[in-house]
Amino acid sequence: MDHFSPVIVAFCCHYCAYTAADMAGSMRLSYPSNVKIIRVPCSGKVSALHIMRAFQKGADGVYVAGCLEGDCHFKDGNIKAAKRVAYVKKMLDEIGIGGERVEVIRMSAGMGERFAQSAKDFTERIRKLGPNPVRAVLNQRESAGA
């Protein structure tokens, strides 16, 4: 896989990260198109199931982007999101997908650059990790079956 192009799901809270992504747009800061954003009202809205479903369906990486600490529109939703992601990390480690494929990223609405930079960094990280093992297993099965 020389030109592995990962698929990355970014859950972005409406108030900060999604706004920062728009801001990256108005500043014309390019970042890898691998990152696809799903808007949520608060990063705390993202359940463990949403993240696991993405990996089950073949996503190579997932990140949950919320507000800076103390800036959450809903008091501490971003902190609860971080706890949940920590829990998902452990689970991913246990089942062999690897906890490093999921991350929490914090930014304020004005940080267009941070949004672009973290999209770059995360994509690079996942590129190094290679494809989601689920993909490889299924591919093997397919070729074994054939």
- Residue number with CB closer to other proteins (112 or 122): 112
Q: CA–CA separation, 78 vs 86, rounded Å?
A: 12
Provide, rounded to whole angstroms, the least separation between the CB of residue 5 and other proteins: 9
Shortest distance, position 93 Cβ to other proteins, whole Å: 21
Q: Is 25 in the site for other proteins (CB under 8 A)?
A: yes
Binding segment for other proteins (CB under 8 A), chosen from 23-31, 87-95, 97-105, 120-128, is: 23-31
Please list every residue from 100 through 139 that binds other proteins, using CB under 8 A: 108-113, 116, 134-135, 138
Question: Which range in 63-71, 93-101, 121-129 contacts other proteins by CB under 8 A?
Answer: 63-71
Binding mask 67-86 for other proteins (x = CB under 8 A): -x-xx-xxxxx--x---x--
CA separation, residue 29 to residues 11, 38, 141 (Å): 19, 19, 41
Interaction of residue 65 with other proteins, rule CB under 8 A: no
Q: How far apart are CA 124 and CA 42, in angstroms?
A: 26
Q: By the criterion CB under 8 A, which residues form the site for other proteins?
A: 7, 9, 14, 16, 18-19, 21-31, 33, 36-42, 44-47, 49-50, 53-54, 57-59, 68, 70-71, 73-77, 80, 84, 108-113, 116, 134-135, 138
